[in-house]
Structure formats: C-alpha cells, structure tokens
C-alpha cells in the first residue's frame, strides 16, 4: 500500500508550477521583434557608455524596467 501524497507536497508543486509559468510569461511579454524593413531602437540603460541600441530587423529581450522600445519605419 503506497503512502498518500500530503497536502504540503501538492501545495509546493503547485507553487513551483506557478513560478515557472510566471517566468515564461514574463519572458514572452518582454521579447520584442521587428521586421527586416524597420529599425527597432532599444533605449534607456543598454550598456556602459550607451544610451541607445539600434537593431535592424531582429529581436531583443527588453529585460529592465529602465529600457524602452521604439520601432521606426
């Protein structure tokens, strides 16, 4: 006869699943793409000595709250 799964184990598994789901959703929301005929400009804190990072037709992960995205046509 096997031992029943405790309520605490189920709660821990549910919390871990929610954390993984939240992390994946955060990454999906922060991933920005741009078609090849446009320029995506990531501005704010983008690196040492830089205030903007232009990306011609590609994608980037806008991770920090201090970063913003602008798409030029």
Does pLDDT of 65 surpass 70?
Answer: no
32: containing domain:
7-72
CA-wise closest residue to 70 among 35, 43, 46: 43
Does pLDDT of 71 surpass 60?
Answer: yes
The answer as to whether 40 is a domain residue is yes
The answer as to whether 22 is a domain residue is yes
Q: Structural domain tally of the chain?
A: 1
Distance (Å, rounded) from C-alpha 46 to C-alpha 64? 9
The answer as to whether 28 is a domain residue is yes
Instruction: Give the contacts of 31 (CB within 8 A, at least 6 positions apart).
Output: 59, 60, 61, 62
The answer as to whether 2 is a domain residue is no
Query: Is the whole-model pTM more than 0.75?
Result: no
- pLDDT tens profile 11-63: 999 999 999 999 999 888 888 888 888 888 888 877 788 888 888 888 888 87
Q: Check if the beta carbon of residue 48 is closer than 8 Å to that of residue 17.
A: no
Distance (Å, rounded) from C-alpha 16 to C-alpha 59? 29
């Amino acid at each position: 006869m096997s031992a029943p799964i405790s309520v605490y184990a189920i709660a821990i598994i549910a919390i871990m699943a929610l954390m993984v789901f939240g992390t994946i959703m955060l990454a999906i929301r922060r991933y920005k793409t741009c078609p090849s005929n446009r320029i995506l400009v990531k501005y704010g804190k983008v690196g040492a000595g830089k205030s903007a990072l232009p990306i011609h037709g590609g994608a980037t992960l806008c991770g920090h709250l201090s970063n913003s995205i602008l798409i030029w046509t």
